Amino acid sequence: MQKSYYDNPYKKEFTAEIINVLEKDNKFHVELDETYFYPQGEEHPGDTGSISGTPVLSVYEADEKVYHVVEVKPMKIHKVKCNIDWSKKFDYMQKHLAQYIISAYLFELFNANTVKVNLGDEHSYIDVDRIIESTEIKKVEEMANNLIFDNIKVDTLYPTKAELKKLKLKNIDKKAGGKIRIVKVGDVFAIPCTGILPNSTIELQTLKVIKYENQGIGTRIHFLCGSKAVSNYIEKFDSMEKISKLLSCTDSNVLLEVEKLKKELKKALSERNSLKSEIADYEVQNMVNSCEKIKDISVIKLVHDTIDIKHVNLLASKLTSFPNVIVLFGVKSEDKAQLIFSCTKGLKIISMNILLKDAITLIDGNGGGSDFSAQGGGKNNNNLDSTLDYAYNKIKGIIMGNS
């Protein structure tokens, strides 16, 4: 078999002769006399496409032969027309070269070794063995884009042993009698590589680091290049334009306007919380004054038809700051019910935790807490009123000495 994918990685269509077909696991592994389909490797995914209109699911190499996996058995009596999914192939060629450039500059500038590479469908990342700062990321990104715009040729070399020694490359895995394939970009890097790359750095179009995150002693760096980076820029530009119109400002003033809005929102939220707290004080005082007393214990039983559980908790907290108060709150929403039981600290009539776990079974729920505060939820919100009545009667019985 003639492996032509190195000779012309840009070939999108070609005609070849089928020389063998193997059947494995209800799929057919096709061997051609010549192929431009790149097989699956450690550095690059295998190409996909079609053979005579039949989708090629995967391509792999075994025993120096390249096999193309299809689901429909092809005819062996004539040549077949082959098509390669070019957009997918070129996308990975770009990402492969971009990764080499980023890794090279990270090592050259900051002595950061690349320990893992992932060339994903949406965006790609590399892991390096040290913490990288934002200024360092920007420096690498700047140098990478300068190299792209310099339109440096990507050379493929098969050096002799003497030439290989001059390159001083590390971690070379050389099979007996085999050739070492080296990819070289100017003076930036020379590296052993079995993958396929664009002919020039300009074909990357642009490179953008979109995120980086520390992971232990290392850093994961996410990046985009090529058409995906351009699309990402266009999307962000469109978003910026829409935000500018909403804020009635220029693009250059968007950040200032957003920071201004953030301060105003923080102030408004603070004022709202103060007002809610004041309103809660009035609600609490009214509840304490109007609630039923059992001997000298104020028992406040109430169902709230609201999903603002924070406000209900605030009311319970304020109420139990008064002496001798027990709060039995239920909160009803469309699909669930919640219980909030609490009492004044030091009031040891009954544990709120025990009372809630007993009563909450009536709404098919569960929960818990402490002797002075407990909370939980259940699915049966139709039974919420009777659940609070049950808890109230339990407390009343204890206070009156009937339980």
Q: What is the pLDDT of residues 59-96, one digit of tens each?
A: 999 988 999 999 998 877 678 999 999 999 999 999 99
Residue type, 238: D
Structure-model confidence comparison of residues 159 and 72, the more confident one: 72
Which amino acid does the sequence have at 68? Answer: H
Contacts of 190 (CB under 8 A, 6+ apart): 157, 167, 169, 182, 183, 184
Which residue is it, tokens 């934002």? 134
Max Cα separation, the chain?
101
pLDDT band at 392 (very low <50, low <70, confident <90, very high): very high
Cross-strand pairs, 55: 50
Tell me the C-alpha distance between 192 and 189, whole Å. Answer: 10
Q: What mean pLDDT comes out for the span 314-322?
A: 91
Architecture of domain 2-84: Beta Barrel (2.40)
Mean pLDDT over all residues of the chain? 89
Higher pLDDT: 337 or 171? It is: 337
> Are the beta carbons of 20 and 172 closer than 8 angstroms?
no
Q: Which one is the CATH code of 90-234: 3.30.980.10, 3.20.20.120, 3.30.565.10, 3.40.630.10?
A: 3.30.980.10
- Give the closest residue to 100 by CA, choosing from 191, 34, 161: 191
Identify the pLDDT of residue 286: 87
> Is 90 exceeded by the pLDDT of residue 306?
no
Is the pLDDT at 172 greater than 80? The verdict is no
What is the C-alpha to C-alpha distance for residues 92 and 76, in angstroms, rounded to an integer? 31
Token code pair at residue 270: 């603070």
Contact yes or no for 114/106 (Cβ under 8 A): yes
The DSSP code for 373 is E
**Contacting residues for 67 by C-beta, under 8 A, at least 6 apart:** 22, 29, 30, 31, 39, 59, 60, 61
Band the pLDDT of 381: cuts 50, 70, 90.
confident
- Band the pLDDT of 280: cuts 50, 70, 90: confident
User: Is pLDDT above 80 for 165?
Assistant: no
pLDDT in tens, 19-38: 999 999 999 999 999 999 99
Angle, vertex CA 252, rays to CA 249 and CA 254, nearest 5: 55
Residue partners of 144: CB distance under 8 A and separation at least 6: 98, 101, 102, 105, 207
Sheet with 365-369, side-by-side order of all strands: 292-294, 297-304, 325-332, 337-343, 373-378, 365-369
The pLDDT-based confidence of 171 (bands split at 50, 70, 90) is low
Distance CA(88)–CA(80), nearest Å, equals: 22
**Residue ranges of the alpha helices (H) in 215-300?**
226-247, 254-290
Of 101, 92, 163, 90, the residue nearest 124 (C-alpha)? 92
Query: What residue spans define the domains of the chain?
Result: 2-84, 90-234, 249-290, 292-400
pLDDT classification of 176: cutoffs 50, 70, 90:
very low
What strands, in cross-sheet order, belong to the sheet with 189-192?
Answer: 154-157, 182-185, 189-192
Residue 175 predicted with pLDDT over 50: no
Expressed in percent and rounded to 5, the helix, strand and coil fractions of the chain are 40, 30, 30
- In the block, residue with structure tokens 């030091």: 346
Stretch among 54-58, 300-304, 308-312, 368-372 having the lowest mean pLDDT? 308-312
Q: What is the DSSP pairing of strand 373-378 with strand 124-128?
A: unpaired
Please determine, looking at this structure, whether the domain spanning 292-400 carries the CATH number 3.10.310.40: yes
Q: What is the DSSP letter of 387?
A: H
Would the pTM count as exceeding 0.85? no
The C-alpha angle with vertex 260 and arms to 248 and 246, in degrees rounded to 5, equals 25
Average pLDDT over residues 197-217: 94
Percent above pLDDT 70 for the chain: 96
| Confidence at residue 320, expressed as pLDDT on a 0 to 100 scale | 93
